[in-house]
Amino acid sequence: MRRIAIVGAGQAGLHLALGLQAAGYDVTLVSERSAEQIRDGRVTSTQLMFGPALALERAAGLNLWDEQATVMGGLEMNQWDPTAGEPGPARFTTSYDHEARSVDQRVKLSAWLELFAARGGRVEHRAASAEDLAGIAARHELTVVATGRGALSSLFGRDAARSVYDRPQRALAAFYASGVTAKGDETDAYLRVTGAPAAGDAIALQALTVGGPCEILLLEAKPGGPYDCWQDRPGPREGLRRAVELLRVHAPWEYERFSHAEPTDRGAALYGAITPTVRHAVAALGNGHHVLGMADAVVVNDPLTGQGANNAARAAAHYLDAIVRRGGLPYDGPWMRRTFEEYWEQARHVHAFTDLMLRQPPAEHVSRLLRAAFEYPGLAHRFANGYADPLGYRDWLMDPQRADACLAAIAASG
Has residue 348 been placed in a domain? Answer: yes
Same domain for 291 and 265, yes or no, is no
Determine the Cα–Cα distance for residues 71 and 206; give it in Å rounded to an integer: 8
For residue 279, give every residue at least 6 positions away whose Cβ sits within 8 Å of its Cβ, in sequence order, or none. Answer: 153, 156, 157, 158, 159, 293, 297, 298, 299
Asked if residues 120 and 110 have their Cβ atoms less than 8 Å apart, the reply is no
Same domain for 82 and 149, yes or no, is no
3-state secondary structure 341-355: HHHHHHHHHHHHHHH
**pLDDT for the residue numbered 131:** 84
Q: Residue 15 maps to which CATH number?
A: 3.50.50.60
The three-class DSSP label of residue 335 is helix
Same domain for 30 and 109, yes or no, is yes
**pLDDT for the residue numbered 288:** 84
212 has which bridge partners? 209
The pLDDT > 90 percentage for the chain reads 93
Has residue 87 been placed in a domain? Answer: yes
Same domain for 14 and 151, yes or no, is yes
**pLDDT for the residue numbered 312:** 97
What count of Cα atoms within 13 Å lies in the side-chain half-sphere of residue 387?
A: 26
Q: Residue 256 maps to which CATH number?
A: 3.30.9.40
Has residue 69 been placed in a domain? Answer: no
Measure the N-to-C terminal CA separation of the chain; round to a whole number of Å.
Answer: 62
Residue 265's region, left for phi above 0, alpha for psi from -120 to 50, else beta, is: beta
**pLDDT for the residue numbered 411:** 87
Same domain for 152 and 257, yes or no, is no
Residue 152's region, left for phi above 0, alpha for psi from -120 to 50, else beta, is: alpha
**Which of 193, 335, 331 is CA-nearest to residue 253?**
193
Same domain for 281 and 224, yes or no, is no
Classify strands 122-125 and 26-31 as parallel, antiparallel or unpaired: parallel
**pLDDT for the residue numbered 262:** 98
**pLDDT for the residue numbered 100:** 98
Has residue 316 been placed in a domain? Answer: yes
Q: Is the peptide bond preceding residue 361 cis, with omega within 30 degrees of 0?
A: yes
Determine the Cα–Cα distance for residues 282 and 335; give it in Å rounded to an integer: 10
- Dump the DSSP string for 358-385: H-SSPPHHHHHHHHHHTT-HHHHHHHHH
Has residue 68 been placed in a domain? Answer: no
Has residue 115 been placed in a domain? Answer: yes
* Exposure letters 52-91 (e unless 16+ CB within 10 A, then b): ebbbbbeebebbeeeeebbebbbbbbbbbebeeeeeebbe
**pLDDT for the residue numbered 86:** 79
**Dihedrals phi, psi of 45, to nearest 5 degrees:** -170, 180
Type of residue at 344: W
Same domain for 292 and 238, yes or no, is no
**Which of 157, 387, 109, 149 is CA-nearest to residue 274?**
149
Asked if residues 190 and 72 have their Cβ atoms less than 8 Å apart, the reply is yes
- How many domains does the chain divide into? 3
**pLDDT for the residue numbered 193:** 98
Asked if residues 88 and 80 have their Cβ atoms less than 8 Å apart, the reply is yes
Determine the Cα–Cα distance for residues 158 and 281; give it in Å rounded to an integer: 9
Choose the final residue of a domain: 241, 272, 303.
272
Same domain for 136 and 195, yes or no, is no
Same domain for 27 and 139, yes or no, is yes
Has residue 157 been placed in a domain? Answer: yes
C-alpha distances out from residue 72 to 48, 80, 85, 208, Å:
10, 23, 32, 12
Same domain for 109 and 10, yes or no, is yes
Asked if residues 294 and 146 have their Cβ atoms less than 8 Å apart, the reply is yes
Choose the final residue of a domain: 339, 357, 375.
357
**pLDDT for the residue numbered 151:** 75
Asked if residues 288 and 282 have their Cβ atoms less than 8 Å apart, the reply is no
Has residue 344 been placed in a domain? Answer: yes
Instruction: Give me the helix-helix angle, 11-22 and 308-326, nearest 10°.
Output: 30
Domain holding 84, by residue range, is: 74-101+171-272
Asked if residues 24 and 1 have their Cβ atoms less than 8 Å apart, the reply is yes
Same domain for 281 and 245, yes or no, is no
Choose the final residue of a domain: 357, 377, 401.
357
**Which of 242, 245, 212 is CA-nearest to residue 229?**
242
**pLDDT for the residue numbered 63:** 96
**pLDDT for the residue numbered 83:** 86
Show the low-confidence residues of the chain (pLDDT under 70).
Answer: 414
CA-atom Rg of the chain in angstroms: 21
**pLDDT for the residue numbered 1:** 86
Same domain for 224 and 203, yes or no, is yes
